Amino acid sequence: MLTKLAGGLLPGIVLYLSMFYKRHELQYRMGIFYSAASLSGAFGGLLASGISQMDGVAGQAGWRWIFIRMSLGTLNRSFSHCLVEGIFTAVFSVCAAFLLPNSLESARFFTDIERSIAVHRFYNDNTTSSMTPFSWKLVKRGILNWNVFFTSITYFCILAPIYSFSLFIPVIIKGLGYREITAQLLTVPPYCAAAIATVIVAYFADRVKRRGQWICMMLPFAIAG
């Protein structure tokens, strides 16, 4: 169930940001979003190393506390349970539901003049000024387009090693001879470097209004990794 819910997060974020920024402003914002994902991996390593220090608490090994279900109130198992590392996500998701605006017109953090300027510049962008009405013919054309299949295969080939790397990097580092806690801490630098590179590349891609070239420049680094 959680996997199904998370599957809509990325396209939902892309759609949401596209309602606030022009086309050549979107890549930089998506870069910031992706950098947050990278930094979450870094903080995950720090958090995991901290939780692993709970070795022996309640008679459980330290690594078990990363996965064990904790009570919202006490250790009484009759209460609702949630994952330790998921508590913060759950809290912020509730806050986001109330704080994030549905559109530029309903953004409460703008003054009336700022809101008017934001709406004007958004809808006067050449790429967003004309909206194509929904048509099943266009849906069929998108599904059968060879570019969609080629991009999907490319994206799959990128994601397979990325997620393998993110899931097994502590094991890989431990295999180099480091102890468990040190291995968890050493997972942080790669994610920090990835976050910095993501924002820089996204910024320049928007500045020059070219994306394909930057992707081709960065893919060799991903292949080497």
Distance separating alpha carbons of residues 27 and 14, to the nearest angstrom: 10
Asked whether residue 132 is domain-assigned, the answer is: no
Identify the band that residue 44 occupies on the pLDDT scale cut at 50, 70 and 90: low
Asked whether residue 55 is domain-assigned, the answer is: yes
Domain range enclosing 48: 2-102+180-224
Asked whether residue 128 is domain-assigned, the answer is: no
Per the structure, the count of domains in the chain is: 1
Asked whether residue 66 is domain-assigned, the answer is: yes
Asked whether residue 148 is domain-assigned, the answer is: no
Scan for tokens 């950098």, then name that residue.
35
CB atoms within 10 A of CB 211: 14
Asked whether residue 170 is domain-assigned, the answer is: no
Higher pLDDT, 201 or 66: 201
Q: What is the mean pLDDT of the chain?
A: 76
Q: Which amino acid would we find at residue 133?
A: P
Asked whether residue 113 is domain-assigned, the answer is: no
Asked whether residue 29 is domain-assigned, the answer is: yes
The predicted model scores a pTM of: 0.63
